[in-house]
Structure 1
Amino acid sequence: MQITAKEIAQILDGILEGDAEAIITHPGKIEEGGAGALTFLANPKYEPFAYTHASAALLVPADFVPAQPVAARALIRVGDVYGAVAKLLSYFDEGSDFKPSISGQAAIAETAQLGKEVSVGEFAVIEKGARIGDGVCIYPQVYIGENVEIGAGTILYPGVRILKNCSIGARCILHANVVIGSDGFGFAPNAAGQFSKIPQIGRVRIEDDVEIGANTTIDRATMGETIVRRGTKIDNLVMVAHNVEIGEDTVIAAQTGFAGSAKIGNHCRIGGQAGFVGHIKVADHSQVQAQSGVAASIKQEHSAVYGSPAIPYGDYLRAYAVFKKLPELYKKINDLEKQLKGSGKP
């Protein structure tokens, strides 16, 4: 596709400077540039590339003041660069050629209900009592268990498994090999030190507009529901245990793990490889830095924590500043001890 810088500025309600007729053919990275590329500058550390790598057009913050002439033919100023990029990537995305069709190699139970314009790929399995909404896209080798509900417009990529009685909302995206509704990790010890499996008879409920990354697992509840609420985005390789509840519009990076019955609030931001013990509550708008171990509830909204065990972010930075000086402090203490011993003072 081809579009001019002027047209891009109109789409974004941005302010155009430079060549209005510069032809844009594709989005690109600022550190690569190239003819026809539309690049963007959102992080100041990439600013040097704006002067050295030519492109057709460059998106910049509205208040950007260049230190020297930019290499792009056109400059487009916008209020929210990341938001503008998200909008443009959707514009440039030509979409999937997976047309609404049902493969003859899919196994669909007679009692399963399929809405309008549903796509079902090869070797997908839809069990009895499942209800599939309008416009759902089911890629090859997806498994949908008994009595599962899938909301309209949801996309299930290859290898997704949704086990019995679980529900997925509308406009969700589940990436390859996501598992929804596997048994929770529940075992009861006996006097002999052996473990008996506790039946996991609950389910998982995923609300509307949730995206779940590849190879993420969300266990069914022991009783009741494991819940991921509306608008939450979960990265790859995340583990959500039984009876966990994750609030609305929360973002969770890869390799994070939530132990059973943890309750995570709305609008939280959780870095990669964070860990949460069970039966705690995390307040709305909390920020948990990468590799933090959250061992106690976070009670105050808008908290930021870091470390393992996690402590307030400011406290962690101050403690770490001291930690880096420990070798030097240790040497000073040793020197002082030697001086005291040499002086004969007690």
Structure 2
Amino acid sequence: MEFTIKQIATLLNGTIEGDETLKISQLSKIDEGKEGSISFLANPKYESHLYSTAASAVIVDKSFQPKQAVQTTLIFVDNSYSAFTQLLQEVNKLVNSVRIGVEEPAFLGNGATVGEQVYRGAFSYVGANSRIGNNVKIYPHAYLGNNVTVGANTIIYAGVKIYDNAVIGQNCIIHANAVIGSDGFGFAPQPDGSYHTIPQLGNVVLEDDVSIGAGSTIDCATMGSTVIRQGVKIDNLVMIGHNVEIGKHTVIAAQSGVSGSTKIGEKCVIAGQVGIVGHISVANGTKVGAQSGIGKSVKQEGTTLKGSPATDINENLRSLAVFRKLPALEKRVQELEAKQKN
């Protein structure tokens, strides 16, 4: 990978201050910049590194005004963070586009169809009647069961397991060892205290542009579908129960869990280690702080919650303020009781 600064600026619709002919061959953090690398400055906390970095170019906001002389070439854009993200995406496409063809041994079931420019890594398995779209990348040791559909440009990393009948959209990324379509936690209690397994006959549907983190699991529906809507981003080690529906562009951080049949709205932000009970709904735009527990439906859009059980964040912060004062309050009560006894 090698580009001129001018080519990068054209891609990002930016303007250049410095030498536009320099060659860029790698990306770097601003404090680790080297000759031939490009970085970005979005957080003022790191501005001091701009004046000492060895990077050949740095992407900055159009509004940025250096406080002293800058040796590196600057590319001015509307939003430096977004522009660098765009650059990362383009590099990622180039890296993954190199992988094309089949590494043996790889299994392709009867009736399965594979599009153009597809990569199937060694020891990957694609089941009967599955349909693989154009430019899909299936890394080694990935398993796709029977009747699985995978849309164009999706990347399935090593060790991913996708059960029968799953539908994966276009431009999805499923990271290593994620499991899509395992049985939901369905067991019927019996009079003698034992449990009978309830067959899980549904599937999982991931719409376009969904990202699933490493080691995350999404259970199939008992009947119908567990649905992850367009643009949802799920972090590592997240558990999604059967018949859950997650709305468009919601993000869920690591170690969170959503119990069965819960519906989460669009553009929600769920921080790490959040637990959500089953059979409730969470309104669009809800934000949930880390280690919170959601035990009932959230009906008001745009609500911000924290705590376990979760409450409005302002109420939670007031409660925490009182909680921190409890030792002092206890001491005062003890002193008052002692005075009364005397």
Establish whether TM, by shorter chain, passes 0.5: yes
User: 1:149 maps to which residue?
Assistant: 149
User: 1:79 maps to which residue?
Assistant: 78
Give me the whole-angstrom Cα distance separating, in 1, the residues matched to 2:52 and 2:121.
47
Where does 1:268-279 land on structure 2 (aligned, <5 Å)? 268-279=268-279
User: 2:226 maps to which residue?
Assistant: 226
Give me the whole-angstrom Cα distance separating, in 2, the residues matched to 1:91 and 1:255.
30
User: 1:55 maps to which residue?
Assistant: 55
Question: Offset at 1:2?
Answer: 4.5
User: 1:159 maps to which residue?
Assistant: 159
Give me the whole-angstrom Cα distance separating, in 2, the residues matched to 1:114 and 1:2.
32
Give me the whole-angstrom Cα distance separating, in 1, the residues matched to 2:25 and 2:146.
46
User: Are the structure 2 counterparts of residues 4 and 132 from structure 1 closer, same or farther at C-alpha, using a change threshold of 3 Å?
Assistant: closer
Deviations 1:192-220 (A, max 9, x none): 11111111111111111111111111000
Query: Does the residue aligned with 1:323 lie in a helix, a strand or coil?
Result: helix
Structure 2 unaligned spans of 5+: none
Give me the whole-angstrom Cα distance separating, in 2, the residues matched to 1:74 and 1:116.
40
Q: AA paired with 1:298?
A: V
User: 2:46 maps to which residue?
Assistant: 46
Query: Does the residue aligned with 1:88 lie in a helix, a strand or coil?
Result: helix
User: 1:209 maps to which residue?
Assistant: 209
Deviations 1:236-265 (A, max 9, x none): 111011000011111111111111011111
Which moves more between the two structures, 287-296 or 97-106?
Answer: 97-106
Give me the whole-angstrom Cα distance separating, in 1, the residues matched to 2:232 and 2:102.
30
Give me the whole-angstrom Cα distance separating, in 2, the residues matched to 1:256 and 1:135.
32
Given that 1:98 and 1:119 are in contact with CA atoms closer than 8 Å, whether structure 2 keeps it comes out as: no
User: 1:292 maps to which residue?
Assistant: 292
User: Are the structure 2 counterparts of residues 262 and 49 from structure 1 closer, same or farther at C-alpha, using a change threshold of 3 Å?
Assistant: same
Given that 1:53 and 1:71 are in contact with CA atoms closer than 8 Å, whether structure 2 keeps it comes out as: no
Give me the whole-angstrom Cα distance separating, in 1, the residues matched to 2:23 and 2:107.
48
Q: AA paired with 1:147?
A: N
Given that 2:53 and 2:72 are in contact with CA atoms closer than 8 Å, whether structure 1 keeps it comes out as: no
Q: AA paired with 1:159?
A: G
Which moves more between the two structures, 126-135 or 38-47?
Answer: 38-47
Q: AA paired with 2:117?
A: E
Deviations 1:282-320 (A, max 9, x none): 111111122111111111111111111111122222222
What TM-score do the two structures reach when normalised by structure 2? 0.91
Q: Let me know the Cα RMSD of the aligned residues.
A: 2.2
Give me the whole-angstrom Cα distance separating, in 1, the residues matched to 2:236 and 2:71.
35
Give me the whole-angstrom Cα distance separating, in 2, the residues matched to 1:42 and 1:56.
17
What TM-score do the two structures reach when normalised by structure 1? 0.90
User: 1:331 maps to which residue?
Assistant: 331
Deviations 1:53-91 (A, max 9, x none): 45333333333355x326552333332222111111234
Aligned length in residues: 341
| Sequence identity percentage | 49
Query: Does the residue aligned with 2:31 lie in a helix, a strand or coil?
Result: coil
Question: Offset at 1:122?
Answer: 1.7
User: Are the structure 2 counterparts of residues 138 and 311 from structure 1 closer, same or farther at C-alpha, using a change threshold of 3 Å?
Assistant: same
Give me the whole-angstrom Cα distance separating, in 2, the residues matched to 1:29 and 1:119.
31
Give me the whole-angstrom Cα distance separating, in 1, the residues matched to 2:146 and 2:110.
12
